[in-house]
Amino acid sequence: MKCIIMANGEYGDLSRYKEILSSADRIICADGGANYAQILGVMPDCIIGDLDSISIKTKNFYAVQGVSFQQYPRRKDFTDMQLALQVAAGMEAKEIILLGSQGGRLDHSLSNLYSGIDYVRNNIEIIHYSPSCTIYLLTGQMSLSGQVGDLVSLLPLGGEVQGVNIRGFAYPLENALLQCENPYAISNVLVNETAKIQIARGVLAVLHYPRSGA
Protein backbone atom coordinates (compact mmCIF):
# COMPACT_ATOMS: atom_id res chain seq x y z
CA MET A 1 0.00 0.00 0.00
CA LYS A 2 1.32 3.43 -0.98
CA CYS A 3 0.73 6.34 1.38
CA ILE A 4 1.59 9.95 0.64
CA ILE A 5 2.24 12.44 3.43
CA MET A 6 1.94 16.11 2.56
CA ALA A 7 4.05 18.35 4.80
CA ASN A 8 4.27 22.13 5.04
CA GLY A 9 7.66 22.68 3.39
CA GLU A 10 8.53 23.96 -0.07
CA TYR A 11 6.79 22.50 -3.12
CA GLY A 12 7.82 24.50 -6.17
CA ASP A 13 5.76 23.79 -9.29
CA LEU A 14 2.55 22.26 -7.93
CA SER A 15 1.60 20.81 -11.32
CA ARG A 16 4.51 18.36 -10.92
CA TYR A 17 2.70 16.59 -8.07
CA LYS A 18 -0.56 15.61 -9.74
CA GLU A 19 0.66 12.32 -11.20
CA ILE A 20 2.31 11.14 -8.00
CA LEU A 21 -0.74 12.07 -5.92
CA SER A 22 -3.03 10.14 -8.26
CA SER A 23 -1.02 6.97 -7.53
CA ALA A 24 -1.63 7.07 -3.77
CA ASP A 25 -3.81 4.60 -1.89
CA ARG A 26 -3.94 6.89 1.16
CA ILE A 27 -3.07 10.56 1.69
CA ILE A 28 -2.22 12.12 5.06
CA CYS A 29 -1.66 15.81 5.63
CA ALA A 30 0.76 16.89 8.34
CA ASP A 31 -0.74 20.16 9.57
CA GLY A 32 -0.08 22.92 6.99
CA GLY A 33 0.38 20.35 4.25
CA ALA A 34 -3.41 20.52 4.04
CA ASN A 35 -3.13 24.03 2.57
CA TYR A 36 -1.32 22.58 -0.45
CA ALA A 37 -3.74 19.66 -0.62
CA GLN A 38 -6.66 22.05 -1.00
CA ILE A 39 -4.91 23.99 -3.76
CA LEU A 40 -4.28 20.70 -5.59
CA GLY A 41 -7.85 19.50 -5.10
CA VAL A 42 -6.79 16.59 -2.91
CA MET A 43 -9.15 14.98 -0.38
CA PRO A 44 -6.89 13.55 2.38
CA ASP A 45 -7.78 10.59 4.54
CA CYS A 46 -6.79 12.55 7.63
CA ILE A 47 -5.09 15.74 8.82
CA ILE A 48 -2.80 15.38 11.80
CA GLY A 49 -0.70 17.67 14.00
CA ASP A 50 -1.07 20.62 16.33
CA LEU A 51 -2.85 22.49 13.50
CA ASP A 52 -0.94 25.72 13.99
CA SER A 53 -0.01 25.97 10.28
CA ILE A 54 -3.26 25.06 8.55
CA SER A 55 -5.29 28.08 7.47
CA ILE A 56 -8.75 28.67 8.92
CA LYS A 57 -10.20 28.52 5.41
CA THR A 58 -8.60 25.14 4.70
CA LYS A 59 -9.52 23.74 8.10
CA ASN A 60 -13.15 24.74 7.70
CA PHE A 61 -13.27 23.38 4.15
CA TYR A 62 -12.06 19.93 5.14
CA ALA A 63 -14.21 19.88 8.28
CA VAL A 64 -17.29 20.40 6.10
CA GLN A 65 -16.09 17.58 3.82
CA GLY A 66 -15.93 15.24 6.81
CA VAL A 67 -12.17 14.71 6.73
CA SER A 68 -10.81 13.23 9.96
CA PHE A 69 -8.69 15.52 12.15
CA GLN A 70 -6.22 14.26 14.75
CA GLN A 71 -5.22 17.30 16.76
CA TYR A 72 -2.38 17.34 19.29
CA PRO A 73 -1.22 20.10 21.66
CA ARG A 74 1.65 22.31 20.53
CA ARG A 75 3.69 21.15 23.53
CA LYS A 76 4.27 17.54 22.51
CA ASP A 77 7.12 15.05 22.24
CA PHE A 78 6.74 14.35 18.49
CA THR A 79 6.79 16.47 15.36
CA ASP A 80 3.78 16.56 13.08
CA MET A 81 5.75 14.51 10.55
CA GLN A 82 6.55 11.84 13.13
CA LEU A 83 2.86 11.61 14.00
CA ALA A 84 1.93 11.32 10.32
CA LEU A 85 4.51 8.57 9.79
CA GLN A 86 3.08 6.65 12.74
CA VAL A 87 -0.39 6.84 11.21
CA ALA A 88 0.90 5.74 7.80
CA ALA A 89 2.69 2.76 9.35
CA GLY A 90 -0.49 1.92 11.25
CA MET A 91 -2.28 1.77 7.90
CA GLU A 92 0.27 -0.93 6.96
CA ALA A 93 1.85 1.21 4.27
CA LYS A 94 4.76 -0.47 2.50
CA GLU A 95 5.76 2.68 0.61
CA ILE A 96 5.58 6.19 2.06
CA ILE A 97 6.23 9.21 -0.14
CA LEU A 98 6.72 12.53 1.60
CA LEU A 99 5.89 15.78 -0.19
CA GLY A 100 6.88 19.21 1.09
CA SER A 101 9.37 17.61 3.48
CA GLN A 102 12.31 19.62 2.15
CA GLY A 103 13.17 23.29 2.01
CA GLY A 104 12.45 26.11 4.40
CA ARG A 105 14.05 25.54 7.78
CA LEU A 106 17.05 23.22 7.74
CA ASP A 107 16.16 21.74 11.15
CA HIS A 108 12.74 20.70 9.83
CA SER A 109 14.28 19.14 6.72
CA LEU A 110 16.83 17.17 8.74
CA SER A 111 14.21 16.11 11.28
CA ASN A 112 12.02 14.81 8.46
CA LEU A 113 14.94 12.80 7.07
CA TYR A 114 15.90 11.31 10.44
CA SER A 115 12.27 10.44 11.22
CA GLY A 116 12.25 7.87 8.43
CA ILE A 117 15.24 5.86 9.65
CA ASP A 118 13.39 3.35 11.83
CA TYR A 119 10.72 2.82 9.17
CA VAL A 120 13.16 1.97 6.40
CA ARG A 121 14.95 -0.36 8.81
CA ASN A 122 11.59 -2.13 9.16
CA ASN A 123 11.26 -2.62 5.41
CA ILE A 124 9.02 0.35 4.67
CA GLU A 125 10.15 2.27 1.60
CA ILE A 126 10.66 5.97 2.35
CA ILE A 127 10.95 8.58 -0.42
CA HIS A 128 11.09 12.37 -0.09
CA TYR A 129 9.92 13.82 -3.40
CA SER A 130 10.22 17.29 -4.87
CA PRO A 131 10.69 18.39 -8.50
CA SER A 132 14.22 19.60 -7.76
CA CYS A 133 15.42 16.72 -5.55
CA THR A 134 14.16 13.25 -4.67
CA ILE A 135 15.67 11.56 -1.62
CA TYR A 136 15.55 7.79 -1.17
CA LEU A 137 16.34 6.13 2.15
CA LEU A 138 18.15 2.88 1.42
CA THR A 139 19.11 -0.16 3.50
CA GLY A 140 19.80 -2.65 0.71
CA GLN A 141 19.89 -2.01 -3.00
CA MET A 142 18.06 0.02 -5.63
CA SER A 143 18.02 0.96 -9.28
CA LEU A 144 18.00 4.69 -9.94
CA SER A 145 16.52 5.99 -13.17
CA GLY A 146 17.37 9.42 -14.54
CA GLN A 147 19.10 11.34 -17.29
CA VAL A 148 22.78 11.28 -18.09
CA GLY A 149 24.28 14.24 -16.26
CA ASP A 150 21.95 14.14 -13.27
CA LEU A 151 23.66 14.80 -9.95
CA VAL A 152 23.45 12.22 -7.15
CA SER A 153 24.82 12.53 -3.62
CA LEU A 154 25.13 9.77 -1.01
CA LEU A 155 25.01 10.60 2.69
CA PRO A 156 24.97 8.17 5.63
CA LEU A 157 22.16 8.51 8.17
CA GLY A 158 22.34 7.36 11.77
CA GLY A 159 25.92 6.11 11.66
CA GLU A 160 28.31 4.70 9.09
CA VAL A 161 27.26 2.87 5.94
CA GLN A 162 29.34 -0.16 4.99
CA GLY A 163 29.88 -2.02 1.74
CA VAL A 164 28.77 0.72 -0.65
CA ASN A 165 28.85 -0.31 -4.31
CA ILE A 166 27.59 1.89 -7.14
CA ARG A 167 27.52 1.44 -10.91
CA GLY A 168 26.47 3.81 -13.67
CA PHE A 169 28.19 6.85 -12.18
CA ALA A 170 31.17 8.94 -13.22
CA TYR A 171 32.84 8.07 -9.91
CA PRO A 172 32.16 4.42 -8.99
CA LEU A 173 32.50 3.08 -5.46
CA GLU A 174 33.57 -0.46 -4.56
CA ASN A 175 32.93 -1.77 -1.04
CA ALA A 176 33.25 1.79 0.26
CA LEU A 177 32.72 3.01 3.81
CA LEU A 178 30.72 6.21 4.24
CA GLN A 179 30.85 8.07 7.54
CA CYS A 180 28.99 11.14 8.73
CA GLU A 181 32.25 12.89 9.61
CA ASN A 182 33.66 12.33 6.10
CA PRO A 183 30.83 13.11 3.66
CA TYR A 184 32.80 12.85 0.43
CA ALA A 185 30.26 10.98 -1.77
CA ILE A 186 28.44 14.03 -3.08
CA SER A 187 27.90 15.52 -6.54
CA ASN A 188 28.39 12.27 -8.43
CA VAL A 189 27.09 12.21 -12.00
CA LEU A 190 24.94 9.67 -13.83
CA VAL A 191 26.61 8.30 -16.95
CA ASN A 192 23.77 5.84 -17.69
CA GLU A 193 20.01 6.29 -17.57
CA THR A 194 19.85 3.50 -14.99
CA ALA A 195 22.34 3.21 -12.14
CA LYS A 196 22.74 0.65 -9.36
CA ILE A 197 23.33 1.38 -5.68
CA GLN A 198 23.92 -1.35 -3.09
CA ILE A 199 24.95 -1.24 0.55
CA ALA A 200 25.76 -4.00 3.02
CA ARG A 201 24.88 -2.25 6.26
CA GLY A 202 23.48 1.05 7.49
CA VAL A 203 20.99 3.62 6.21
CA LEU A 204 21.92 5.68 3.18
CA ALA A 205 20.26 8.84 1.89
CA VAL A 206 20.38 8.95 -1.91
CA LEU A 207 19.77 12.50 -3.14
CA HIS A 208 18.87 12.68 -6.84
CA TYR A 209 18.94 16.08 -8.54
CA PRO A 210 17.43 15.71 -12.05
CA ARG A 211 18.62 18.02 -14.79
CA SER A 212 14.98 18.71 -15.62
CA GLY A 213 14.18 19.68 -12.01
CA ALA A 214 12.68 23.01 -11.02
Is the pTM higher than 0.85? yes
The per-residue pLDDT for range 127-139, each reduced to its tens digit, is 999 999 999 999 9
Q: Looking at domain 2-131, which of 3.40.50.2300, 3.30.565.10, 1.20.1420.30, 3.40.50.10240 is its CATH number?
A: 3.40.50.10240
Over the chain, what is the mean pLDDT? 94
Predicted local distance difference test score (pLDDT) of residue 74: 83
Q: Write out the E strands in the chain.
A: 2-6, 26-30, 46-49, 68-71, 95-99, 125-129, 134-138, 141-145, 151-167, 173-178, 188-189, 194-198, 201-209
Predicted local distance difference test score (pLDDT) of residue 126: 98
Q: Per-domain residue ranges for the chain?
A: 2-131, 141-209
> What residues of the chain score a pLDDT lower than 70?
213-214
Predicted local distance difference test score (pLDDT) of residue 202: 96
Determine what percent of the chain is predicted with pLDDT higher than 90.
91
The per-residue pLDDT for range 45-93, each reduced to its tens digit, is 999 999 989 999 999 999 999 999 999 988 888 999 999 999 999 999 9
Predicted local distance difference test score (pLDDT) of residue 213: 55
Fold for the domain defined by 141-209: Jelly Rolls (2.60.120)
d(CA 147, CA 60): 43
Q: Decide: helix, strand or coil at residue 18.
A: helix
d(CA 188, CA 203): 19
